[in-house]
Chains A and B, each alone.
Chain A
Amino acid sequence: MPSFSSHPKQRSDQMESGSTASRSSGDGSQRAASEALVRVRGLHFRRGEQRIFDGVDLDIPRGLVTAIMGPSGTGKTTLLKLISGQLQADAGEIEVDGQSIGSLSRSELYALRTRMGMLFQSGALLTDLDVFENVAFPLREHAKLPESVLRKLVLIKLEAVGLRGAARLMPSELSGGMARRVALARAVALDPTMIMYDEPFTGQDPISMGTLTSLIRQLNDASGLTSIVVSHDVSETAEIADHLYIIANGQIMASGSPREVAASDSAWVRQFMDGEPDGPVHYHYPAAPLEQDLLHSAVH
């Protein structure tokens, strides 16, 4: 674990120069941010009356860990669903690896998804299969492997999340944090090129949190993965991320390396990073003033 803690710092320095200067600089780092794996331009999306995204531009650089942060309910999960084509944008362009998500046919989208892993906020394990079979599922579906090889692969993935001993438990017998780790093992089973983590740290104790952060970093660096981490955990996320986007009110409020963002003097970003209850960010879902609601009910 300690070997990883030095890593992000070093990376963020690279990123800092890469992101403040224009993208063309490249500056000699092998994984220059010049090429984005995911490119989002002018994204608009609404749910009923509620505007979730109102002209969002962002780039997820190849081979790095990009974190997306923001208050609860701003649409982080929605963004991941848009990137993976589970939802369709109202307007704007989303490109993954040069392919525009909106214009893909179903089979092209599925082909793209075999190279994407996603860790759902809820885990989304198949409840009628045990832990081993859940991790084996994508392998059985997409890779024609002999049973003995498959078994070894699955056990290696489970070992990496510390749950090899739980291989024969059913999902209902797992705690929330364990289920999420199994889901992580499943998401990386096919060795994707990109993986999206929706709140990987929720429900983890400090020990598994530490292991998870280093695992995410390790997966990213060892196999040249591109990672997107969605989280509210400011400190944990800042530790592993190379690049940070903060979303709120349908827009990108800040972006840059964790250091840059932490040093930002925008009241907005300060409030979010320091966790102040009040400030430019509203903790409340949009509503009429409380007095009005209360008085209104008294009239009736």
Chain B
Amino acid sequence: MLDSIASLGRAGLAAVASLGRAHLLLIGILGGLPSMLIRPRLLVAQVYNLGVLSLLIILVSGLFVGMVLGLQGHYVLSQFGAAESLGVMVAASLVRELGPVVTALLFAGRAGSALTAEIGLMKATEQLSGLEMMAVDPVKRVLTPRFFGGLISMPLLAALFSAVGVIGGWFVGVGLLGVDDGAFWGQMQSKIDFNEDVLNGVIKSLIFGLVVTWIALFEGYDTSPTSTGVSRATTRTVVHAALAVLGLDFVLTALMFGG
């Protein structure tokens, strides 16, 4: 009994300690911003790595999610004779929710896990210590460009996801199910508000990008330098990032659209 309380306490302390380390790391990463701006090539390489290389999975998923929304939305709306509102429904769900959330989940699986494994292996093979010995701060040199690469890529990927999703919904709704083309786009244009819907979606995706990239970098940097350590850290990245995204999504949605 006492043992279990003690181990609970230990786990709690460890969690708080690692949260503290994660914040210190974030401060270090942000401190690398000036030196990164001097050498934007490092950032560009990471936007390519994290953003461009994630494009395929994001676009394909976006298309399918949009098509499913078209089908399901049409099924529900046509029961109320409101099939013309399909465009609004598809666009609103994508821009407000599914775009940021599904993109962040895919991003955690595709880019986050890769980041953790890369940083963890660099630590395990002493490359990070090697940088330190060459008087190069590994946090600023290696982590900062990756962090901002992730931060820039996520909103762009989410926007592309939503755009492709709307096309998927249009293809199913208008192309296959015979919804009126003009009504589909017209209602979407009049009902989707830039600030209320689009901007809030962009803010969500920025926050998710920050959280996913931060978790991925921290797990990689904090890993124990062994192959088991790296594999565990990679798993933790995907699990923690997914939970953080879904939890935060609820909070953000309540804040943005709840009132």
As a 0/1 sequence over residues 78 to 112 of chain A, the CB contacts with chain B under 8 angstroms (1 = contact) are: 00000010100000000000000000000000110
The interface residues of chain B lying within 8 Å CB-to-CB of A141 are 134-136
The interface residues of chain B lying within 8 Å CB-to-CB of A113 are 132-135
Are the C-beta atoms of A110 and B129 separated by less than 8 Å?
Answer: no
Are the C-beta atoms of B135 and A124 separated by less than 8 Å?
Answer: no
Provide the bound-state CA to CA distance between A111 and B127, in Å. 19
Report the minimal beta-carbon distance from B122 to chain A, rounded to whole angstroms. 8
A3 interface residue (CB < 8 Å to B): no
Are the C-beta atoms of A86 and B132 separated by less than 8 Å?
Answer: yes
Report the minimal beta-carbon distance from B245 to chain A, rounded to whole angstroms. 28
Report the minimal beta-carbon distance from A198 to chain B, rounded to whole angstroms. 10
A125 interface residue (CB < 8 Å to B): yes
Q: Which of A29-37, A64-72, A114-122, A219-227 contacts B (4 or more CB under 8 A)?
A: A114-122
Provide the bound-state CA to CA distance between A24 and B133, in Å. 33
Provide the bound-state CA to CA distance between A86 and B138, in Å. 13
The interface residues of chain B lying within 8 Å CB-to-CB of A111 are 135
Interface size of A by CB at 8 A reads 21
Which B residues between 38 and 87 are near A, CB-CB below 8 angstroms? none
B137 interface residue (CB < 8 Å to A): yes
Look across to chain A and name the residue whose beta carbon is closest to the beta carbon of B133: A118
Provide the bound-state CA to CA distance between A252 and B133, in Å. 26
Q: Among the listed B127, B133, B135, which residue makes an inter-chain contact with A126, where contact means beta carbons less than 8 Å apart?
A: B127
B7 interface residue (CB < 8 Å to A): no
Are the C-beta atoms of A126 and B130 separated by less than 8 Å?
Answer: yes
Provide the bound-state CA to CA distance between A124 and B138, in Å. 13
The interface residues of chain A lying within 8 Å CB-to-CB of B127 are 124-127
Report the minimal beta-carbon distance from B16 to chain A, rounded to whole angstroms. 22
B125 interface residue (CB < 8 Å to A): yes
Are the C-beta atoms of A127 and B132 separated by less than 8 Å?
Answer: no
Provide the bound-state CA to CA distance between A114 and B133, in Å. 8
Provide the bound-state CA to CA distance between A138 and B135, in Å. 8
Provide the bound-state CA to CA distance between A248 and B203, in Å. 59
A300 interface residue (CB < 8 Å to B): no
Which B residues between 172 and 218 are near A, CB-CB below 8 angstroms? none
A142 interface residue (CB < 8 Å to B): yes
B-side interface residues toward A, CB under 8 Å?
122, 125-127, 129-137
